[in-house]
Structure 1
Amino acid sequence: MTGGVAAVVLLGVVLAFAVAKPRGLPEALVAVPAAGLVLLLGLTTPAAALEEIVELGPTIAFLAAILLLGYLAEVESVFSWLGARMAAAGRGSPQRLLGLTFVAASATTAVLSLDATVVLLTPVVLATARLLAVRARPHVYACTHLANSASLVLPVSNLTNLLAFAASGLTFLGFAALMAVPWLVVIAVEYAAFRWWFRGDLRAAPAAPAPAPDVATPGFALAVLAATLVGFGVSSLFGIEPVWVAAAGAVVLGVRVLLARRARPVALLRAADPLFCLFVLALGVVVGAVTENGLGAALAAVVPSAVTLPGLLGLAVLAAVLANVVNNIPATLVLLAVLGDAPAPGLVLAVLIGVNVGPNLTYVGSLATLLWRRVLSGTEAAPSVREFTGLGLLTVPLGLVAAVLALWVGLRLT
């Protein structure tokens, strides 16, 4: 077995285990031994593996901080309050609830990352649809689609964003400025597609809705989240890494929650998901071995290098295809490695559009989508492969083209 084949087999085993996650076992259970094997088999060097880990370190630390921040927001009743406000504003209208869901999911994804939208917001949206006695399918599908495609705007919105941000050389505000219009364009495409695809569900007359629950406004938590968001932008002006801002927000809310005894320290540690962070580090080592043993050279031969509209679109499509074959996190790691040490920001952002919008085509494109599927398993809104794929075939091509066109225009203007 050649080195390239061995590396690909190990990556396939790691991803298959992560997708299946039998008995809820952590992804790191297979990824860490696989990383050890690529070293024992000589598929990568200890120096290269260490370099990969060091490069990913700040990104993984930020991931842990933002996961913890999302959990603390849930403990502080931010999502319960949001659901109550949606129920009150929805007034029994499926169309109005869909619009509110789009706003809530897009904002949650942008500020607290796609995992918060999938794990924390999706159950709230499902409960709100039940409360308003409307069909839940359009609204819960919006959560997973926007967890992926609406994660374009900020470096904090997705792990893929964090990886791309580190490679782009952009400031936090510079990244947000270039991706704001593509983000809005993709959300608009998704909304138009959802209104058409789910037109039957949205026209169905709802039964008599139950009264919206009365949930007190979590003013302190909302203020901390707002201050953290502002801090992300301001810190970039002073060269402060976003991880310190996210950690500060998590510390403030964490101390409050612990003092009020609304959570125990072990729960906070679990929320930071250290095993998933370890999985990403190990995955980076395995993907590095795959890249070194042939895949990098093969992709380098087809990856566009010109920051032109055809070049950006070709790169985004390639990233989307690769994300649906090997998952979006490995796809991001591979393509960023192929682009080299100092890639043009436009190329990095085109990759990001592909790996964020593309996963709405298949379940395996994003780990968040797989998690969303588990959240809804056994409910009346449990997803089907046919509907998920059909909706993806409608939204992904349109979203890719629209977002890349918006990015190209933004790059020319700036």
Structure 2
Amino acid sequence: MLDLIIKGGTVVAPEGAGLMDVGVQGEQIAAVASPGALDDVGAAATIDATGMIVLPGGIEPHAHINVPVPDYWAGGDTGIYTQPPEAASRAAAFGGVTTYVDFAGALPLTPGAVPPSDPIMGQVEVRRDIFRGHSYIDYTFHYILAGAIPPVTLGEIGEAIQSGVASFKIFTTFHAKVPMGHLWEIFQEVGKHGGIMAVHAEEDDIVTYMEDKLEREGRDHGSNLHLAHNNISEDISFRKVTRLAQSTETGIYFVHTTAKEGVNAIAEARAKQQPVYGEALHNYLQFTCDDYLEQDGLAIHTYPAIKFSDDRDALQQGLVDGPICTTATDEWTTYKNVKLAGDTIRTLCGGHNGIETRMPVTYTKLVAPGRIGLERFAAITSTNAAKILGIGKTIVRDGQLLGDSSDGRWLSRKVAPRVITQTSV
């Protein structure tokens, strides 16, 4: 006897979508069978999914949970943190997400902050302790490498990958940026041991020059962030990173791609058979920089910056055609007064309160108008992230590493239009 049978739904599986029944034993998918084929097996519980779509549980590949908010983003307040695992995972589950990828290591956003020099796996364990027993869904971590990386840390990368840390996050801008020589060494180590790089790529000289220029000219309001974190910055940085990755045979996962130039750079690298992948945030699929000018429009901001309509269109098309492989949130939930405490290009709080809305918004933008099918939807909201980031080998449940992340399923009604409001999430 099975623990659960999900009957009568349109099941989205790798081989296609169709009417099938799903059998669950423990916390694993035990069977996917034709309608009625599991009836003789029986189950302790049955869910009637008639009229519903049964999808792989969503994977949120980019979340910042229970981390300190810099005081210059929080109106000078100290001790402010993004929402804890209980709240974030509850919202994620309501939005169809059964696994999220957070970060271990330090993100030194404050000028002069020095990243800790503790061993990589020690810092991973610190983060696990925060989530252990406090998350409704599964979790795993990218590891952040910031600033000039000491040789001892480089020497730990191989062991960390073998211990389940599959992806390493770096920045090419902000105070956490990694110098190019160090980046070359990191790429070599990560590539040699079969890991992948998650890269926030912007050309730092352009970003900092434009920040200074906009301040001098009195145009440093947050609605001009796209002029500092601009298209040419993404174009140059993406191409530098992909060239470095080509020389070291390293896989690259570009987080929060924002511009048509970034989409093109990824497509060109993939045409050369490089393992290069793009991520799009769902607020970038919906909004443009014009929306910054609306009332409370700065609340939609996520770094680098929301850009123009042709960039939004390129991201959507990238998800249709393939250069953009995943959708994400860059989850960084604060209270609204914190999010809007700063309103300049240097003080506007980053991140996005949207872990619950990513899958519904992506469905609305791409599936509902017929631009992609359910199989592609499952890929860009779940299975691609698992494959690219090695999540099947790294997720944690109750503190234990698991070997399979495919046991989560999300049920969604085929036709259930509604308006998202503050009280409905």
Same fold (TM over 0.5): no
Higher relative CO (Cα under 8 Å, sequence separation at least 6) belongs to 1
TM normalised by structure 2 equals: 0.26
TM-score, scaled relative to structure 1: 0.26
Higher helix share: 1
Task: Flag the structure with higher strand content.
Answer: 2
